Amino acid sequence: MVHISMLRMLTRLDRTHGRRFLSSVIRVGSSLPLETKLETFVNGEKMERSVGEIFKGKNVAVCGVPGAFTPTCSDKHVPEYIKCLETYKTKGIETTCFAVNDAFVMKAWKKSLAAPEELIMLSDGNGTFASQLGISMDTGGFGGLRSRRFAMYVEDGVVKVLNLEEGGAFTDKSSMLKLLDQIKE
């Protein structure tokens, strides 16, 4: 029998639609929730795109961070990713950076990092996508709902490699260089 506190722990609230759903942590072989909407900028215009539009029929690397402009994300995790973008590109892999921030913050952060145009910044403003993947964390007064740090490789909407950190920690586990080595030719 499932203990009620365990069930509460597994139950997440989809803030967009006000409904509860049961979720566990995404894993290799899982399909992404293709109908979920994320925001990004395309040709200078803010756009809402479905996860399906972003990932279906494509090979995509995702650098997931707890928050834009945070020291570890800005000084270590994303700059390392930017250095290897060209290698991802030569392998035919699109590159994205994901955070539970609004699209304008992500756009400003991209500019401050001097990131090239091909790095697509994905904004999950209310944390719906992170919650659906089971990778959200509550940081309280620090920043509220955030995403755990991760590196993920997705083919046609299906997770092929997932390196998920505990909380917001940054080790070589979520290194984008490590992810690059794990991707099969």
**Which residues are catalytic, by number?**
73
Contacts of 61 (CB under 8 A, 6+ apart): 88, 93, 94, 95, 96, 151, 152, 153, 154, 176, 179, 180, 183
Which two three-digit tokens encode residue 16?
């967009």
Three-state DSSP at 5 gives: helix
Q: Cβ distance 123 to 106 under 8 Å? A: yes
Kindly give the pairing relationship between strand 158-164 and strand 150-155: antiparallel
Q: Which residues of 92-123 are buried (b: 16+ CB within 10 A; e: fewer)?
A: ebbbbbbbbbbbebbbebbeebebeeebbbbb
